[in-house]
Amino acid sequence: MATVESAGVRAPAWRGGFGRLWSAAVLSSFGDALRNAALPLLAVRLTDRPLLVATVTACGYLPWLAFGLLGGAVADRVDQRRAMWTVDALRGLLVASFAVAVALGHASIGLLIALAFTLTTLQTLFDNASTALLPVLVDREVLGSANARLLTGQRIAGGLLGAPAVPLLLAAGAAAPFAVDAATFLVAAALVASLRTAVPQRRAAVAGSTLRREIAQGLRTLVRDRALRGLCAATALCNIGMGAQLATLVVLVTGWLHGGTVGYAAAGTAATLGSLVGGVVNRRFVARLGRLRAVLTAGTAQTAALVVMGSVRSLPVLVAAIAVFGLMGMVWNINTTTLMQERSPADMLGRVSSAFRTLSYAGVPLGALLGGAVATAWGLNTPPLLTAAFFVLAVIALIPALKVNVPVVAPHDDAMTAHAPR
């Protein structure tokens, strides 16, 4: 492991393992952005039923309910590097096969749903393994800086470069975004496989220890901490609404606002730009309010932005509201993750984070189906208003956590850090 010092701030060295992991993560984010933007656009070409379009998003989150906790426990036991490159290679082959199906005209809603479910099933292991691998590659004192660089690179590649590239790739054919995504998976797998950093020897399992018991320990640690419990409940409520928002944003932009593919790409770009600004201003929020109050303020501002999205029929206004939503979402994510890192026992962080992620994602499929249902029953602009209602409940759920004694700014606080599940 190596670090460098610049202007008195220690940071991870780009050479060696961290640089390769960063490159793989950024490349994968670019491919993910292409696929995530192209899938709903392909779905609306295959069906005009909002509920079916929403089902594609819902099935992209269901595996977290079935396999999320197991993925966290398994990631603590296996060689994370090998798990990551194997998963990426499998995902690359799956997406490449899907691209061929699209090119031959064999795509269907059922195939989209199967692809989304399978990719996320593999992701439950990949994400937890990635979280556990980073401390092996960089010194602990520069983890914050390493996470910041990873997140910044992923946001730029995924939002600023990936989403706007979708219309250009679609001009070459409906299969093009998926073919490029498959290539990014395979190259990322090669980068991770090339890592030569030794993985530390794992301690022998305690007699009588089982995956079920280890998972239960992570859940108990999460539930017993008032701040983490409140944050998890609030994030879960937000994610029910976010399921509705994500699943129906494409029909809101292309149907209600008649923004087309370009408008949909503009909305995604605005969210990314807003989140990058949020990473820059987060330190000031925390300095003035403290972490928990910063999260509460972010949730309140996001609620207002959602009301604007669902009530003002103007594409420029929607883009501006989404930028605000993304900015405050980054503030929420930074401080939620930092609090989890600060308050979790070091030897249980993987299990606590997987428990947090799984519980937080639990409501997304339900929200996606609710979004499709209300869009069908009451209009394409109603899902953002439904999402706003869940954000109000989330803000209320956070209020008891404000009584917890949390420092305003933690030592060596970074402007940006790894993102939370939300």
Per-residue pLDDT in tens (0 to 9) along the chain, 422 residues: 444 444 444 555 666 677 888 888 888 888 888 888 788 778 888 887 777 777 777 777 778 777 878 777 777 677 778 888 898 999 999 999 999 998 998 888 888 888 888 888 888 888 777 776 777 777 766 665 666 677 777 778 877 777 678 778 888 888 888 999 899 999 999 998 888 755 544 544 555 567 788 788 888 888 888 888 999 999 999 999 998 888 888 888 988 988 888 888 788 888 888 988 887 788 788 788 888 898 999 999 999 999 999 999 999 999 999 999 999 998 888 788 777 767 777 667 667 778 888 888 778 878 888 888 898 889 888 999 999 999 999 999 998 888 765 544 443 444 333 333 34
In the prediction, which pLDDT does 203 show?
47
Q: Where are the beta strands (DSSP E) in 7-152?
A: 9-12
Q: What is the pLDDT of residues 112-156, one digit of tens each?
A: 888 888 888 888 888 777 776 777 777 766 665 666 677 777 778
The distance in angstroms from the start CA to the end CA of the chain is: 30
Question: In CATH, which of 3.50.50.60, 3.30.360.10, 1.20.1250.20, 3.30.70.1350 is domain 13-196+212-403?
Answer: 1.20.1250.20
H or E stretch at 370: helix 364-378
- pLDDT value at residue 198: 55
Give, in order, the Cα–Cα distances in Å from 238 to each of 37, 177, 355. Answer: 21, 30, 17
Q: For residue 324, what pLDDT is reported?
A: 96
Q: Which pLDDT score, from 0 to 100, does residue 144 have?
A: 57
pTM for this prediction: 0.70
Domain ranges of the chain: 13-196+212-403
CA angle 123, 57, 374 (to 5 degrees): 150
- Helices 17-46, 50-59: axis angle to 10 degrees equals 160
Give the C-alpha separation, 371 to 268, whole Å: 19
pLDDT on residue 209: 66
- Which residue in 235, 196, 197, 188 sits closest to 90, CA to CA? 188
